[in-house]
Structure 1
Amino acid sequence: MPRLFTAIEVPGEVGATLTMLRGGISGARWIDPENYHVTLRFVGDVDDAMARDIALMLGQVRRRAFDLVLDGLDQFGGHKPRTVFASVKTSTALMELQAEHERIMQRLGLAAERTYRPHVTLARLRDASTRQVADYLATRGLYRSVPFHVPRFVLYSSRDSVGGGPYIVEAEYPLH
């Protein structure tokens, strides 16, 4: 049973700048640069028939290519930080692409996802102090990437693990 999600790949040159942000939080599990991505829609564990249906439906998406910028760092988890990430600057093209993926998945019978907040996960945290995370964000939080072009989105599979990859591109879909 594959575990699937759709995403936008982060180019190597942007990934290289993200790796410069590593360190400063004890116990953090830093994501390998080849696994940086912007998730569009998490699918989860599905059977092979559903995986084929998803791949087929995604092939019907017709959108224009666009540019993205990573703008700032933040964390998920509030008073118990669990993830540090780079935020994605608001983009109408990105939000429309994500909304189309959401509609496709719901048409195929999958439950609605929670509110979408585009980001690139940098580290998963376990027992990190809020002070350490606050200090990290205070010193690195003004990060901003160069704009990067998004010529396609991909369907990834991952193994059942605690996250962070490795991810395998199962299908790629060009943006026109």
Structure 2
Amino acid sequence: MPRLFAGLEIPKDITTLLSLQKGGLYGARWVDESNYHITLRFMGDVDYGLANEIVFQMSQIQYPEFDLSLRGFGSFGSKKPHSVFAAVQNSQELYLLHQEIERRMRKLGLRSDKHDYTPHVTLARLKKTAEPIDVANYLAMRGNFQSGNFRVPRFVLFSSRDSVGGGPYVIEETFDLL
């Protein structure tokens, strides 16, 4: 049974820039730069029949290419942070692509995520030993982070294995944007 999610790849120059932000945070398990991505929609563990339906639905999406950039860092888990991320600059095009994928996945019977969509690139997962003040200091020191714009020419269906912290991720299918 594959574990699937749709996402966007990050260009090499941006992944290199992000990888330079590693370190200086006790209790962090840093994500390997080869696994950096922006999740569009997590599908979870699905059987192969549903996986084929997902591929078909995604292949029917006709959407134009667009530009993105990253701006600032943040964390998930307000009282007990559990991950650190690079935030994606607000993009109407990204949200519309996400909504189209979401609509098609609900049509297949997949439940929506219980959290609001927050596009980001996960940089580290935090152990329970990470102190909120240390996370706040790490984020404050990197508050002005900004990448240049990068073009999004396609979206991808990734698979992952069941593991702590995700990865390695495998590209199963690619879907070119117009």
Q: Normalising by structure 2, what TM-score?
A: 0.97
Which residue of 149, 153, 156 corresponds with 1:151?
153
Aligned to 1:97: 97
Contact 1:32–1:164 (Cα < 8 Å) also in 2 = no
Aligned to 2:125: 124
| Per-residue deviation, residues 131-167 of structure 1 (Å, max 9, x unmatched) | 1101100101211001000000000000011223100
Structure 2: unaligned runs, 5 residues or longer: none
**C-alpha distance in structure 1 between counterparts of 2:79 and 2:32, whole Å:** 26
Superposition RMSD on alpha carbons, in Å? 0.7
Aligned to 1:136: 138
Aligned to 1:84: 84
Letter of the aligned partner of 1:126 in structure 2? K
Structure 1: unaligned runs, 5 residues or longer: none
Moved more, 40-49 or 19-28: 19-28
Alignment of 1:14-93 (within 5 A): 14-93=14-93
Aligned to 2:2: 2
- The percentage of aligned residue pairs carrying the same residue is 51
| Per-residue deviation, residues 11-58 of structure 1 (Å, max 9, x unmatched) | 110000001100111120100111000000000000000000000110
Contact 2:160–2:166 (Cα < 8 Å) also in 1 = no
**C-alpha distance in structure 1 between counterparts of 2:12 and 2:166, whole Å:** 17
